[in-house]
């Protein structure tokens, strides 16, 4: 009887040792993980244009400067309406006023300044989905010179109103691209792709098409080109079976 108890006790020790040894091996073996980065890219054409310009007036008398600025404002507004722009889409800013003074020197020393007049300026902004029309107007705006208005035009800025939907589609493409890369790596290593551990979205970029524009770590957002390219990356981590 004692002999049988010793045998059972020995078997129990052996079985326990096997379980403990197997658990140690599993803990010692690092988890096999594949990390891949996928790219989603999409070309698109802007569907919203924002264009701004500025005009100014100068006079030693403030009221005269205001009268001149208002005269130019009426000319600018009438011109834009004649080009087919709705009056509600023409946004004029508040008038900016500054005093202009000439510095006076005597024997190279500053002795004060003399009032020269008032410089007034006002800007106008147009937001419109009619991209081609506003582009044409921005190029022809020098016609205002013939009407007595010195108009300084800024380059148009281009935007896309369906950017949120586009971003979702690109995330889907980038995720699928990363998953396919991970599957190929696993197959080449003689394994199979397991469960997804984590997914992290990278930087969202918008650059001009064929512009050679550099990417930025913080993300670039091009507004100077009508035709753009949007890119996004997704980093996925999978277990390997």
The tens digit of pLDDT for each residue in 197-238 reads 999 998 899 999 877 776 666 678 899 999 999 999 999 999
Residue 115 lies inside a defined structural domain of this protein: yes
Provide the CATH number for the domain around residue 54.
Answer: 3.30.70.2970
**Residues 171, 40: Cα–Cα separation, whole Å:** 6
Please compute the mean of the pLDDT values over residues 134-148 and round it to a whole number: 92
Q: Which of 156, 191, 211 is the last residue of a domain?
A: 156
The proportion of the chain whose per-residue pLDDT surpasses 70, expressed as a percent, equals 85
Total domain count, the chain? 2
> Phi/psi of residue 219, each to 5°?
95, 125
**CB burial string 160-170: b at 16+ within 10 A, e below:** beeeeebbeeb
H or E, element range at 218: none
> Among the residues of the chain, which ranges form H helices?
2-28, 62-82, 131-140, 163-188
Residue 18 lies inside a defined structural domain of this protein: no
Terminal-residue alpha carbon distance, the chain = 48
Greatest alpha-carbon pair distance for the chain in Å reads 125
Q: Are residues 120 and 193 in the same domain?
A: no
Residue 133 lies inside a defined structural domain of this protein: yes
Task: Assess contact for 222 and 211: CB atoms under 8 A.
Answer: yes
| pTM for the model | 0.77
What residues pair up with 159 in beta bridges, in sequence order? 48
> Phi/psi of residue 30, each to 5°?
-70, 145
Q: Are residues 142 and 166 in the same domain?
A: no
Q: What is the pLDDT of residue 22?
A: 42
**Residues 127, 191: Cα–Cα separation, whole Å:** 55
**Local confidence band at 23 (pLDDT 50, 70, 90 cut-offs):** very low
Q: Are residues 150 and 172 in the same domain?
A: no
Mean pLDDT, the chain, integer: 85
Q: Are residues 213 and 130 in the same domain?
A: no
Q: Are residues 120 and 184 in the same domain?
A: no
Q: What is the pLDDT of residue 215?
A: 66
Q: Which of 156, 189, 207 is the last residue of a domain?
A: 156
Quote the domain boundaries for residue 214: 32-45+162-240
- pLDDT tens digit string along 150-196? 899 999 999 999 999 999 999 999 999 999 999 998 888 888 888 89
Q: Is the pLDDT of residue 25 over 70?
A: no
């Amino acid at each position: 009887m004692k002999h049988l108890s010793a045998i059972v006790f020995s078997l129990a020790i052996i079985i326990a040792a096997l379980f403990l040894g197997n658990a140690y091996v599993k803990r010692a073996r690092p988890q096999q993980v594949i990390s891949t980065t996928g790219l989603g890219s999409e070309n698109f054409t802007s569907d919203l244009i924002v264009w701004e310009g500025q005009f100014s007036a100068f006079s030693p008398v403030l009221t005269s400067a205001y009268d001149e600025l208002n005269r130019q404002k009426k000319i600018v507004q009438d011109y834009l309406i004649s080009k087919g722009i709705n009056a509600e889409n023409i946004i004029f800013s508040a008038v900016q006023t500054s005093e202009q003074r000439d510095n006076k020197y005597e024997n190279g020393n500053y002795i004060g300044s003399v009032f020269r007049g008032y410089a007034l300026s006002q800007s106008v902004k147009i937001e419109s989905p009619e991209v081609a029309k506003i582009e044409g107007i921005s190029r022809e705006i020098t016609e205002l010179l013939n009407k007595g208005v010195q108009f300084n035009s800024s380059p148009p800025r281009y935007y896309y109103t369906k950017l949120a939907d586009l971003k979702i589609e690109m995330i889907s493409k980038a995720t699928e691209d990363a998953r396919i890369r991970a599957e190929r790596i696993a197959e080449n290593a003689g394994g199979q792709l397991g469960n997804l551990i984590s997914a992290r979205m990278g930087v969202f970029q918008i650059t001009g098409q064929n512009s050679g524009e550099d990417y930025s770590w913080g993300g670039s957002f091009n507004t100077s080109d009508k035709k753009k390219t949007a890119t996004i990356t997704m980093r996925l981590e999978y277990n390997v079976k």
